[in-house]
Amino acid sequence: MRVLDLFCGAGGAGEGYRQAGYEVVGIDLIARECGYPAGDFIKGDVREYLADIHFLQAFDLIHASPPCQTHSRTQHLRDAQGKGTDKVDMIPETRAALEEAGVPFVIENVEGAPLRKDLLLCGSMFPHLRVHDQTGVRWLKRHRIFEIGGFEIPQPDCNHHVGIRPLGVYGSMNDNIPSGGQTVRSLEEGRELMGMPWANWPGLVEAIPPAYTRHIGQYAAYQLVGA
């Protein structure tokens, strides 16, 4: 099966589909310094490809991760750090194009985004998305929601009680709010926690772990072609 990875970034989503057995094509306007390990990469404006229905219909599954800074809970943190936000919301036009193409699709974004919440995935659901330090087991805190068209996936349960205080991959490394969140202490720890050993920090911050889309891709393959 072939999957199109729109707004592919550093390739976290695409790598998960590759691990699930798909041939992957990623499209993004920005070519990451860390590369795109999941398959073929096209540098281009995703909106141009969304307008080409015949191109979209050449794939068995389409995954899209439209820009999410508008909806992210870390928007105020970005403003405080002087990073700002692009204020772009491409979810409506992305959904409209994928529905018109009639290809099974997955649209991913942060909690709070205007998506149908067909599936929520969390780092605590995946036992290998953890690191160990002197305090014990630290799991990845990274909730993402998925709107799914053309197939279904049962909702797994979060496992937040495992280990101790979780770690995040957002903002800056080594942030620590005693009553709030804590981010990873180094790039190496972030790579291990996310399961993305090739990625740089900007790529990690905007990615989802390959484990999420490997899980989705396996369900999609089973339902769509009986793999």
pLDDT tens digit sequence for 176-220: 877 778 999 999 999 999 999 999 999 999 999 999 999 999 999
113-143 per-position pLDDT tens digit = 999 999 999 999 999 999 998 888 899 999 9
DSSP class of 69: T
The pLDDT > 70 percentage for the chain reads 90
| Nearest CA among 106, 131, 112, 118 for reference residue 186 | 131
pLDDT for residue 68 = 65
Rounded to the nearest integer, the mean pLDDT of the chain is 90
Tally of domains within the chain: 1
Q: Give dist(CA 198, CA 188) in Å, integer.
A: 10
Q: Give dist(CA 145, CA 115) in Å, integer.
A: 8
Q: Give dist(CA 181, CA 165) in Å, integer.
A: 9
CATH code of the domain containing 159:
3.40.50
